[in-house]
């Protein structure tokens, strides 16, 4: 999820600031998806609880290991119960 690869002649010219911004946006997006899945738990409908559990489980499996620390920081800011290990 780091965006499209740069052409070989521009690969060395990557802007570190843009890379940091991309990582920040990606981590925040993962955390927001997890927060939304958690929010379904507060709805009083069993089918939505089942859907939330499936969605949350899938999201937890899909977060890349190298992003987990950053995603956890966002999860804390969003006051979610979920934390990645």
Domain annotation covers residue 47: yes
Domain annotation covers residue 8: no
Q: What is the pLDDT of residue 69?
A: 92
Q: What is the pLDDT of residue 23?
A: 92
Q: What is the pLDDT of residue 60?
A: 86
What's the whole-model pTM score?
Answer: 0.51
How does pLDDT run along the chain (85 residues), one tens digit per residue? 555 665 555 555 678 999 999 999 999 999 998 888 888 777 767 887 788 888 888 988 999 999 899 999 999 999 988 888 8
Total domains present in the chain: 1
Q: What is the pLDDT of residue 4?
A: 60
Integer angstrom CA distances of residue 26 from 22, 30, 41, 47, 51: 6, 6, 24, 29, 23
Domain annotation covers residue 44: yes
Domain annotation covers residue 54: yes
Please answer whether residues 35 and 78 qualify as being in contact, where contact means their C-beta atoms are separated by less than 8 angstroms. Answer: yes
Domain annotation covers residue 32: yes
Domain annotation covers residue 48: yes
Task: Give the residue numbers spanning the domain of 48.
Answer: 18-77
Domain annotation covers residue 12: no
């Amino acid at each position: 999820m780091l965006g499209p690869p740069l052409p070989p002649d521009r690969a060395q010219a990557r802007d570190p600031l843009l890379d940091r911004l991309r990582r920040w946006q990606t981590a925040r997006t993962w955390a927001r998806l997890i927060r939304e899945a958690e929010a379904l738990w507060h709805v009083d409908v069993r089918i939505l609880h089942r859907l939330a559990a499936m969605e949350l489980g899938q999201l937890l499996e899909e977060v890349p290991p190298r992003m987990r620390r950053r995603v956890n920081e966002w999860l804390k800011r969003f006051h979610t119960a979920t934390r990645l290990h």
